[in-house]
Structure formats: C-alpha cells, structure tokens
Amino acid sequence: MKSATITIRCPAKINLGLSVLGRRPDGYHEIRSILQSVSLHDTLEVQRARRFSLQIEEEWAAVSRGGGVPADGGNLVLKAAAALKSSLGERAAAFRLIKRIPPGAGMGGASSDAAAAVVALDRLYDLGLKPPEFHRIAASIGSDVPFFLYGGACLALGRGEEIYPLPDGPSLQLVVVFSAKGLSTPEVYSRWDRLLTSTDKASRMNDFAPWCLVLRGEDPAIANDLETAAIALEASLGEVRSALTGAGAKAVSMTGSGSAFFGIFSDAKAAEHGASRLRRAGHAAVNAVSLGRAEWMEAVRAVG
C-alpha cells in the first residue's frame, strides 16, 4: 500500500549566465541561460487529505523575509495542485512547506516547490503522468518550473521553459549572499526594458557559449544582463557584488532577476573563509555547492 505521506526536497538554482534578447509578442522576454541546481533547498511534505491546505514554516538560512511567502492560492504549490485538477478529481492533499530559500532572490524557490508538488502528487495518487505531461503542466505554472524536473545543469531558452540538459561540470564551491530586500521579477524586467531601449539583440551562440566553460572546470566567464536593472532598483546590490569579490570569489554574478548574488570560489576552504568574512561584515551569506544530475536526483527523491 502506498504511503499516505510524501516528503521531497526542493533544491534552488543559480544562473551561470543570463542573456535577455528582448520582449516577445506574448509579453514575456526571450532569454538564454545556463541553470545549475545547488544544495540549498526547501522541503515539501504532502499528505492525503479531503481538501487542499498549505502550512508554511520559515527556516531562513541567512535572512528573514517574514510575510513574503503567500500561503493562499497565490503560492505556486497550490497552483501546481490546481493544474492537476483533471487528474486528481476529488482527491486532495495537505502541504507542509519548510522554506529555506528566500523569496525574491532569483533562486527559483517557489518554482522548485511547485515542481516538487507535481512530482509528489503524481506519486501519492499514482497518477501515471508521462514526461511530456510533467513538462506541459510545469510550463503552465511558471517559466522556471520545468527546469526543476530535470536538475543538474541545463540550457534554458525561450521564456525559460525550453530546457536542454547539459553534461555535469565539476563541483562548484559557492557563497550566496542575500539582500535584506527581495526583488520583483516583473519590476526588474520592466526596468531592463526602460534602460535598454535599443532593438532586440540577435540570438548568437557565441554570446553565451563561454558560460559553458565553467562546466568544463575552466575559469568562468559569466554575466547576467539583468544586473544593471536590479542595481538600478536597489543600489546596495552593487556593494554585495564588491563584497563577494573582496572575499576572494574568482567569479561573481547575480542569479536570475535577483536579488541574491553568488560567488564561485577555488575550493571549499576558500568558500568557507569567504562566507565567514562576509558574515562578519554584516552580509547574509551561506555556503552551497552545485549538484550534478545524479546528486540532484538523489536530493529530490521522494520519501514515503
């Protein structure tokens, strides 16, 4: 008999480079990015129930964003459940979400939670969803959600929903620094539109192919087109970038639409030293490592 409760981890992601090519006819933006799973994660518990409910517990690793995570229908976990309505019928579930990934950080916490909800409900009620159905449902919830069905390193195209798995690179020793204030993705893209009013950029592989060097263990050449817009909205983010560089990171970038920045360090000792130095300076910094696809699969393996 299948368990009445499923527990699944929900790893965050970073962007190893992000290029914005322009606004699409549907109102979204065309992007090119390399997404990478990391060890920082939320945890989702899903239990059979007569009606849907969501309980949120905050265990912020480095920064408190009280009230920043909706527990109503605006939460992507409940949107994921709604997207499965035709398969679930009258069946429902009670969700308990332990949040460690701050909202408004650009690390895909809500999207990872949503993907985990789809996977957990499929297993809990033996829905028998096939990979194309998983992807279609995930894309209907949000642009970032499909990536969290693949994990590891992936090339993301379109509005982010076109996912192409890439070979694993070496383990990346990371320090992530969170701002005291999250950023709204629509606001960051809106500022990008206003700052860059020239015609849309051509999609050239050479513009973002160098980001793949980090997956070969070479010196990373990563850049995020949205950094300028994010710093225009929150000037203190420029100080975060400088602080990571000063702490010894060999490469620094914002992830997603911000507001978190990450630094890549030469080894675990350097990353631990860098995080300690940043915390002493008053920054909300945590250590993390990249997850290869096998490590990601083990991390998200549903228990129960």
**Closest-CA residue to 170 (of 27, 83, 82, 289):** 289
Backbone φ, ψ for residue 96 (5° rounding): -125, 115
Tell me the one-letter amino acid at 260: A
Catalytic residue among 13, 113, 122, 225: 13
Identify the burial level of 263 via C-beta atoms within 10 angstroms of its C-beta, where 0-12 means exposed, 13-18 middle and 19 or more buried: buried
The two three-digit tokens of residue 27, written as one number: 């109102």
Strand partners of residue 175: 263, 287
- Is 144 one of the annotated active-site residues of the chain? yes
CB 106 within 8 A of CB 65: no
CB 19 within 8 A of CB 201: yes
How far is CA 23 from each of CA 27, 36, 132, 143, 200, rounded to the nearest angstrom? 6, 24, 27, 14, 8
- Cβ neighbour number for residue 243 with a 10 Å cutoff: 21
Phi-psi region of 25 (alpha: psi -120 to 50; beta: other; left: phi over 0): alpha
Catalytic residue among 42, 113, 122, 144: 144
- Cβ neighbour number for residue 282 with a 10 Å cutoff: 8
- Indicate the pairing of strand 53-58 with strand 153-157: unpaired
**Which of the residues are catalytic?**
13, 144
